[in-house]
Structure 1
Amino acid sequence: MKVLIDPGHGGKDPGAVNGDLHEADIVLKIAKKVVNKLSQYDNVQTKLSRSTDVFLELKERTDIANSWGADVLISIHINSATNKNANGIETLIYTNGSNESLVIASSVQSQLIREANRNNRGVKKANFHMLRESKMPACLVECGFISNAIESSLMKTDKFLEQCANAIVKGIVEVYKLNLKKEVVKVANRPLTDREKEIQAEAMELGITDGKNPFEPVDRFYLWSAMIPLAKRVRALEEKKK
């Protein structure tokens, strides 16, 4: 099956903004994680509407999905509101969306709430271009409010981005009954050696990882987020020496 992942905004359009936090950057990170995780499943092809910080018109995005013949489209966004107390996650489908769109949206929404533990704003309907002009089942996820202090703080953490990506993937897997590639299952089911358990425990104690999914592929953003605290400590030590 073909899965089109659409990170909203980009380029001259940063989307919703809160200080130096831009919606376009956040959703691109989540989208790349989703594609990386889906690569572990059999018979799945993925495509990003954009893989860098570039601007695409809405029509360009749906044209990519339609011409490629995507079986499902997931558009990833971040919400914003003038009311700073507004919070939570919601998923949208087209006003006259298909039943399959509702099914995939409901699955993704349920997984997002389970993974991220945020307020459930439910599945809603909207006359959005990405939902209206796509020729396949489609939904648009709003992964929290950048305008909310708590959720904007979460958006700065790799943990939250991982939770959102995991949820989107689980939603897709649940609906389309996807199976992990044999080599992934084989590795994932292998027990840790004693030395690997020691490394895992030490890494957890140092706050480098939560210890989950030790054999899951690591993308650069996860690596960077793990290395930043260490780099800061090294820099602080060097400053003291001066």
Structure 2
Amino acid sequence: MTRIVLDAGHSYNTPGKRSPDGMREYAFNRAVCQAARKKLESQGIQTIMTHHDDRDIPLKERTNLANREKATLFISIHANAYGSGSWNDIHGIETYIHQENDPQSRSLAEAVHYSLIKETRRKDRGIKMADFHVLRETVMPAVLIECGFMTNREEKKLLASENYRILCGHTIAASILTFLGVKKTMYLVQTGAFSSIENAKKHAQDLKNAGFDAMITEK
């Protein structure tokens, strides 16, 4: 069974993990995980969250959970920071894997990273390697995603917005589905049946004017 571990980095009270004006990184991380979870589960993919409360989950506990549950993928979501904690101009998205000779993690990172760059239009800071515990100690393909800098005024505004959090979560989820080769389930909704073609055309145009796709078929 496919199981995706979604890891919201840090916790609500982790010291120092805040923007210069006080936004908590964990608030962003958790919201993105929740958005990704909702989209994945809508496509029949089982998800496991490393957090069920606000305590600071030890890194070993996170990786032990993923390994014990024989997870298919491990996705750790973060917001970045640079310098001593004051505002600066460093910005963009970067994604980490543990080592270059892990082709599955590399492919996963490419799927997620380049989709995020395309959808968010943020600066591409590249796919990088790091000896992070959550990447080193997991036995499945694993990536750590930094979705923007809390220490950049423009990106902090994005990181604090519900729309950006949902965009990141949905983009990450869609990238996972693509990586796994899962085709999205689509649903068709019929809103009317008419004996008059003119009435059908009018109804279809009303739907288009409201922002919905519409087409007319014969039965």
TM-score range, shorter chain: 0.7 to 0.9
Runs (5+) with no aligned partner, structure 1: 202-210, 214-242
Taking structure 2 as the reference length, the TM-score comes to 0.82
CA contact (8 A) 1:41 1:180 kept: yes
* Cross-structure match for 1:74: 75
CA 190–70 in structure 1, closer or farther in 2 if over 3 Å, else same: same
* Structure 1 moving runs of 4+ over 3 Å: 191-195
Q: Indicate which of 129, 151, 172 corresponds to 2:155.
A: 151
CA 106–84 in structure 1, closer or farther in 2 if over 3 Å, else same: same
* Cross-structure match for 1:131: 135
Amino acid at match of 1:4: V
Q: Identical aligned pairs, as a percentage?
A: 31
**In structure 2, C-alpha distance between the alignment counterparts of 1:148 and 1:45, rounded to whole Å:** 35
Amino acid at match of 1:154: L
* Cross-structure match for 1:171: 175
Q: Indicate which of 129, 139, 142 corresponds to 2:146.
A: 142
**In structure 1, C-alpha distance between the alignment counterparts of 2:125 and 2:57, rounded to whole Å:** 28
Shift of 1:122: 1.1
Amino acid at match of 2:89: N
CA 111–212 in structure 1, closer or farther in 2 if over 3 Å, else same: farther
**In structure 1, C-alpha distance between the alignment counterparts of 2:212 and 2:162, rounded to whole Å:** 14
How many residues are matched? 196
CA contact (8 A) 1:14 1:23 kept: no
* Cross-structure match for 1:39: 41
Q: Is 1:57 aligned to 2:61, yes or no?
A: no
Q: Indicate which of 114, 122, 138 corresponds to 2:118.
A: 114
Secondary structure, counterpart of 1:109 in structure 2: helix
Secondary structure, counterpart of 1:21 in structure 2: coil
Amino acid at match of 1:112: L
Q: Is 1:190 aligned to 2:192, yes or no?
A: no
CA 190–89 in structure 1, closer or farther in 2 if over 3 Å, else same: same
CA 14–26 in structure 1, closer or farther in 2 if over 3 Å, else same: farther
CA contact (8 A) 2:100 2:106 kept: no
* Cross-structure match for 2:95: 91
CA 113–137 in structure 1, closer or farther in 2 if over 3 Å, else same: same
**In structure 2, C-alpha distance between the alignment counterparts of 1:89 and 1:57, rounded to whole Å:** 25
Amino acid at match of 2:95: T
**In structure 2, C-alpha distance between the alignment counterparts of 1:190 and 1:15, rounded to whole Å:** 48
CA contact (8 A) 1:6 1:74 kept: yes
Shift of 1:23: 0.5
Q: Deviations over 1:138-168 (max 9, x none)?
A: 0000000000000001112111111111210
Q: Deviations over 1:119-147 (max 9, x none)?
A: 01111100000000001000000000000
* Cross-structure match for 2:23: 21
**In structure 2, C-alpha distance between the alignment counterparts of 1:93 and 1:191, rounded to whole Å:** 45
Amino acid at match of 1:76: I
Runs (5+) with no aligned partner, structure 2: 193-202, 214-219
The structure with higher relative contact order (CA 8 Å, sep 6+) is 2
* Cross-structure match for 1:9: 10
CA contact (8 A) 2:94 2:124 kept: yes
Taking structure 1 as the reference length, the TM-score comes to 0.75
CA 176–212 in structure 1, closer or farther in 2 if over 3 Å, else same: farther
Q: Which has the higher helix share?
A: 1
**In structure 2, C-alpha distance between the alignment counterparts of 1:109 and 1:117, rounded to whole Å:** 11
